[in-house]
Chain A
């Protein structure tokens, strides 16, 4: 009438082990272990399969999920690759665990990790918007050269920043200004796409503004979604400036 079972150090069981009573594994088991009593896996014990029991005490290696209805204790030298579930889970220093650990009634423990990771990416885009404003103001002078077509720039302010890079184009064709803005429209998106991938290559053209040097690394990373809004602000400033200038003239 021995309700406790032992799998000796020199024994290999390949198959399922289940039933009543407690079990001590000093050897090797390749298969699932499911008993009603306690399970002890000795330092030399090796289990490849899921283990379930009342209280699991692991000092050996387990490749599989551990489920203890009372507790799961990993002792020094234990190596577990699999999920651990139980109302009480103990991992002693010197034990290795890789997998998901769940202690009943405290699911919050796992939730803390993802939260900070999501917040980190968000702040950088916020910092990005200010620099574009500075650029928009600088381009203002090229717009001066084209006072007659003033109405056109009013409606197409966003392309303006792109026009800055291609300043030579507007002066060369004063009469062709209307088509010019059309060509400019596609340009803004194209530069935006390569920036994330080739931050280093795109950075050089902008260095013209010393103040931007600091922001250049931030822009290429995640400015795409928020770029459209910043140009909207300069539009007003540009339009207002042009109107003022016209009135002055």
Chain B
């Protein structure tokens, strides 16, 4: 079971931190920090800096991303911000604007 789920229609204004897997379908404004995976669903709107093990974006994200493993932008996903991750993929149909640091 996913540790934390922010359902569609739910809005969080503030910081989220912890060691759970986090799935967002709603709205988040603030900051997101976890040691596990982060999934941003197609209906999600995130305006936050994100730190996690991995990040999968199908919705909209605005903010800097730091992932210890990987960042994937799905088709239809939109990400604006700098990315720092070992692995980074952008699917066909995704939009992205920002710098990438793959710290080889």
Contacts and interface: CB of A to CB of B under 8 A. Distances in A.
Bin the interface of chain B by size. Answer: 20 to 34
Interface stretch (B13-21, B52-60, B67-75, B95-103): B13-21
A78 B16 CA distance: 24
A3 B25 CA distance: 9
Nearest to B30: A15
A47 B13 CA distance: 15
Interface residues of A, number: 26
B43 to A, nearest CB: 8
A13 B10 contact: no
Given A2-B25, A8-B18, A9-B20, A35 B10 contact: yes
A50 to B, nearest CB: 14
A17 B4 CA distance: 13
Contacts, number: 94
A14 B14 CA distance: 5
Contacts of B34: 11
Interface stretch (A18-26, A120-128, A154-162): A18-26
A19 B26 contact: yes
A79 B44 CA distance: 34
B90 interface: no
Contacts of B6: 5
A99 B8 CA distance: 33
Interface string B27-57: 1001000100000000100000000000000
B14 A10 contact: no
Contacts of A23: 7, 10
B contact face: mostly helix, strand, loop, or mixed:
strand
B10 A18 contact: yes
A1 B7 CA distance: 8
B5 interface: yes
A155 to B, nearest CB: 78
A16 interface: yes
Nearest to B34: A11
B32 to A, nearest CB: 10
B2 interface: yes
A150 B16 CA distance: 90
Contacts of A8: 2-4, 18, 20-22
A31 B17 CA distance: 14
B2 A6 contact: yes
B51 to A, nearest CB: 14
Interface centre among A7, A8, A12, A23 (most CB of B within 10 A): A8
* 9 tightest Cβ-Cβ pairs between the two chains A and B: A15-B14, A8-B3, A20-B9, A8-B20, A11-B18, A5-B7, A19-B10, A8-B4, A10-B20
Given A13-B15, A15-B16, 8 more contacts: A1-B8, A10-B20, A11-B22, A13-B16, A15-B15, A17-B12, A19-B9, A23-B10
